[in-house]
């Protein structure tokens, strides 16, 4: 199985996780800070070339009421841009992933307020792990 990259998308930074080569476990990789979408896609392209990845899973922030919001529309456009760049892209419901990431960190006595990048990394790992676990059953 090929490796997959998971993304916790933000307007100025994204958390990035990557699967192990067998596609079973999600591992935190890095946080990318960026100024515009082109810079972000270039950074993700570099990572994908280095790690030999063609598939991405992006956290999809659908509301608790299952309605789209401003951020879901931004991610819809980002998904199209990633597909134009030649990547296979899937969306994974990310509701509560950041809250779950914070809970995990609190349980490990890690302060969440001063470790926002760690929250992003953990959320990206949760998003990707959810996709990996779900795709085993498809």
- pLDDT tens column, 70-100: 889 999 999 999 999 999 999 998 765 666 5
- 45 versus 64: the higher-pLDDT residue is 45
Map tokens 């296979």 to a residue.
Answer: 88
- Backbone dihedral angles phi then psi of residue 3, each to the nearest 5 degrees: -75, 155
Of 8, 7, 29, nearest in space to 20 by CA:
29
What would the pLDDT profile of 26-37 be if each residue is shown by its tens digit? Answer: 999 999 999 999
What gap in Å lies between CA 112 and CA 16, rounded to an integer?
A: 18
> For 29-51, what is the mean pLDDT?
96
Give the count of domains, the chain: 1
Assess if residue 28 is contained within a domain.
no
Model confidence at 50, in pLDDT bands (50, 70, 90)? very high
The CATH number of residue 76's host domain is 3.30.420.140
Of 52, 49, 47, 3, nearest in space to 23 by CA:
3
Assess if residue 33 is contained within a domain.
no
Assess if residue 96 is contained within a domain.
yes
> For 117-127, what is the mean pLDDT?
86
pLDDT at 4: 97
> Structural domain of residue 99, as residue ranges?
16-23+40-135
pLDDT at 55: 96
Concatenate the DSSP letters of all residues of the chain into one string. ---EEEEE--SSEEEEEEE-TTS--EEEEEEEE-SSHHHHHHHHHHHHHHHT--EEEEEE---TTS---HHHHHHHHHHHHHHHTT-EEEEEE-TTHHHHHHHHHHHTT--STT-HHHHHHHHHHHHHHHHHHHHTT-
Would you say residue 138 has pLDDT above 60? no
Of 63, 85, 84, nearest in space to 72 by CA:
63
What would the pLDDT profile of 11-23 be if each residue is shown by its tens digit? Answer: 999 999 999 999 9
């Amino acid at each position: 199985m090929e490796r997959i990259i998971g993304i916790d998308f933000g307007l100025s930074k994204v958390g990035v996780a990557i699967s192990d080569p067998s596609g079973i476990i999600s591992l935190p990789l890095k946080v990318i800070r960026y100024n515009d979408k082109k810079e972000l896609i270039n950074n993700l392209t570099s990572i994908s070339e280095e790690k030999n990845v063609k598939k991405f899973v992006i956290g999809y922030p659908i509301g608790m009421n299952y309605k789209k919001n401003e951020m879901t529309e931004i991610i819809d456009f980002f998904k199209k841009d990633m597909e134009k760049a030649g990547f296979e892209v899937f969306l994974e419901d990310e509701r509560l992933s950041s809250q779950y990431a914070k809970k995990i960190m609190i349980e490990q006595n890690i302060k969440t307020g001063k470790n926002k990048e760690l929250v992003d990394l953990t959320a990206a790992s949760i998003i990707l792990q959810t996709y990996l676990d779900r795709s085993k059953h498809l």
